[in-house]
A and B are shown apart, each in its own frame.
Chain A
Amino acid sequence: MKTKNSEVIERLEEYRVEPMEEASLQQMIAAGKQLILQGGTQRLSLCLRLVNQVKYLSPLLWAAESMLIFLCVLVIRHINKHTDITLALSTLSFLMVILGIVGFPELCKSFSCQMWELEQSCKYNLRQITVLRLSVIGTFHLMLVLVIALATSIQMGLPLWKIALYLFVPFNLSCIAAFFVLGFFRNRGKEWLILPAGLGVAFFLFIGINRFFLYDRLTISVWTVAFLVTTVILINRIFHFLNRLEQGGAALCS
């Protein structure tokens, strides 16, 4: 059997295929090269692009975040049984509002014409870059709010979910206000209006909470509904914002 197989194998090996025609080979290589060049925007893996975006975030942003964390820690540390809980929570809410707007200058960085052209020349997609930055900053802020809520709930002896509601609602409101301002003024070079808009929200909230005792007068159900509504609106604003980026830099710079 082995000998018979050897005979068959020998005969098989006598059959050689001649090389492909050079013209066909050139055509194949050209098609492959074109495909590679077309896929230039996906040149880097997602992880690498994420790492790149983290590196490109301004140190000023991290400095501002650090300052906010320091202030929150300061407030939380001074909470004791004699502390006015409303004042403490409203102060933290004020800081959460600032947290909500502090990342927006980084998002706006790409919206000047020069930056868009630079990024397009590197074959990067503006929408992808913005999504990545939003993911990095947004995830960091979400975790920060949760950690602050946890620390506060431990210090105050109140349930975590309650504190989280009190902190997330102002945070969401400031983000919604910032997205609204960004969407309205983006093409007019007035993105700097986000800061006063955010500060305005912060002050109104601070005064409103302390003047009208919102933590006491509004039931937890109202806060829950406020949280859900603001979250839905915020998600809507984010998608609306990203969809407008599809138009590319020409729309941004017009």
Chain B
Amino acid sequence: MRSIEDYILIKRIQDGDPAAFEALARKYYQNIYSFCVRRCNGDTALAADLTQETFLKLVEHIRCYRPTGKFINFLLTIAVNTCNNNYKKKSFELVEGDTLARIPDQNDIERMVLRRETALTVQQAINRLPDIHKEVVILRFYHHRKLREIAAMTGVSLPTAKSRLKQGLVKLKRYLDEEDLES
């Protein structure tokens, strides 16, 4: 049903309906934004810019979209390429802790602090991964993409994607242990 809704919205966007774009953007922006935040070493401002760029590219290339696969894969592929293109222009800077994703005010301060620390630790561990491992890890565990889909999105073979995921997890384990030791 979800794919039919997406298909209808895409057809409406192809016919020039701006309201359909808003509906589609609101549906998927968090997905793409989260990917960009994690991919951009936690820089939320840059992630917002890249998210906008991703959706604008979607509008430009909406006619190329063929409903042969999931729409989210198409969108994530654009996001992957957008982030990689941005990285080619300038590498992502490591972001200081206080520019990481804002946590809204909550009554439970301890939980808030703990969550923030977890976020920082995990983001810093992810930051240390090479980009090729970072992408696969983020797409696998945060966007729940199958390895076959990840391979298509990143333009590599399935065995390569599997290898990158495995190596990524090994490195992440090591980095997380190091972060725990430091803290």
Interface check A232, CB cutoff 8 A:
no
Tell which of B17, B37, B172 touches A12, judged by Cβ atoms closer than 8 Å: B172
Q: Are A40 and B172 closer than 8 Å at their CB atoms? A: no
Interface residues of A, count at CB 8 A: 32
Q: Are A28 and B29 closer than 8 Å at their CB atoms? A: yes
Q: How far is the CB of A131 from chain B (nearest CB, A)?
A: 19
Q: Are B16 and A21 closer than 8 Å at their CB atoms? A: no
A15-38 interface (Cβ within 8 A of B) = 15-21, 24-25, 27-29, 31-33, 35-37
Alpha-carbon distance A16/B22, docked complex (angstroms): 24
Q: Are B59 and A32 closer than 8 Å at their CB atoms? A: yes
**B92 cross-chain contacts in A, Cβ below 8 A:** none
Give the 7 A-B CB pairs with smallest separation, nearest first.
A33-B18, A15-B122, A17-B34, A28-B52, A43-B16, A24-B48, A18-B101
Q: Are B22 and A35 closer than 8 Å at their CB atoms? A: no
**B103 cross-chain contacts in A, Cβ below 8 A:** 18
Q: Are A28 and B55 closer than 8 Å at their CB atoms? A: yes
Alpha-carbon distance A30/B28, docked complex (angstroms): 16
B1-56 interface (Cβ within 8 A of A) = 13, 15-18, 21-22, 25-26, 29-30, 33-34, 37-38, 44, 47-48, 51-52, 55-56
- Which residues of chain B have a CB within 8 Å of any CB of chain A? 13, 15-18, 21-22, 25-26, 29-30, 33-34, 37-38, 44, 47-48, 51-52, 55-56, 58-60, 63, 101-104, 115, 118-119, 121-123, 137, 141-142, 169, 172-173, 176
**A31 cross-chain contacts in B, Cβ below 8 A:** 52, 56
Alpha-carbon distance A20/B60, docked complex (angstroms): 23
Q: Nearest CB to that of A123 among chain B residues?
A: B16
Interface check A84, CB cutoff 8 A:
no
Q: Nearest CB to that of B176 among chain A residues?
A: A11
* Chain A 40-51 interface mask (CB, 8 Å, partner B; 1/0): 101101000000
Q: Are B33 and A17 closer than 8 Å at their CB atoms? A: yes
Q: Are B56 and A32 closer than 8 Å at their CB atoms? A: yes
* Chain A 181-211 interface mask (CB, 8 Å, partner B; 1/0): 0000000000000000000000000000000
Q: Are B123 and A15 closer than 8 Å at their CB atoms? A: yes
Pick 12 A–B contacts, CB within 8 A, sort by A.
Answer: A5-B169, A7-B173, A11-B176, A12-B172, A14-B118, A15-B118, A21-B48, A24-B51, A25-B25, A31-B52, A32-B18, A32-B58
Q: Are B29 and A32 closer than 8 Å at their CB atoms? A: no
Alpha-carbon distance A33/B20, docked complex (angstroms): 9
Q: Are A17 and B101 closer than 8 Å at their CB atoms? A: yes
A40-87 interface (Cβ within 8 A of B) = 40, 42-43, 45
Alpha-carbon distance A13/B119, docked complex (angstroms): 10
Alpha-carbon distance A37/B15, docked complex (angstroms): 10
Q: Are B25 and A32 closer than 8 Å at their CB atoms? A: yes
Q: How far is the CB of B147 from chain A (nearest CB, A)?
A: 14
Interface check A217, CB cutoff 8 A:
no
**A9, A15, A37, A39: most-surrounded residue (chain B CB, <10 A):** A15
**A11 cross-chain contacts in B, Cβ below 8 A:** 118, 121-122, 176
Q: How far is the CB of B68 from chain A (nearest CB, A)?
A: 17
Q: Are A18 and B102 closer than 8 Å at their CB atoms? A: yes
Q: Are A35 and B15 closer than 8 Å at their CB atoms? A: no
**B173 cross-chain contacts in A, Cβ below 8 A:** 4-5, 7-8
**B176 cross-chain contacts in A, Cβ below 8 A:** 8, 11
Alpha-carbon distance A33/B13, docked complex (angstroms): 10
**B58 cross-chain contacts in A, Cβ below 8 A:** 32
Alpha-carbon distance A8/B22, docked complex (angstroms): 36
Q: Are B37 and A17 closer than 8 Å at their CB atoms? A: yes
Q: How far is the CB of B10 from chain A (nearest CB, A)?
A: 12
Alpha-carbon distance A149/B7, docked complex (angstroms): 49
Alpha-carbon distance A21/B37, docked complex (angstroms): 13
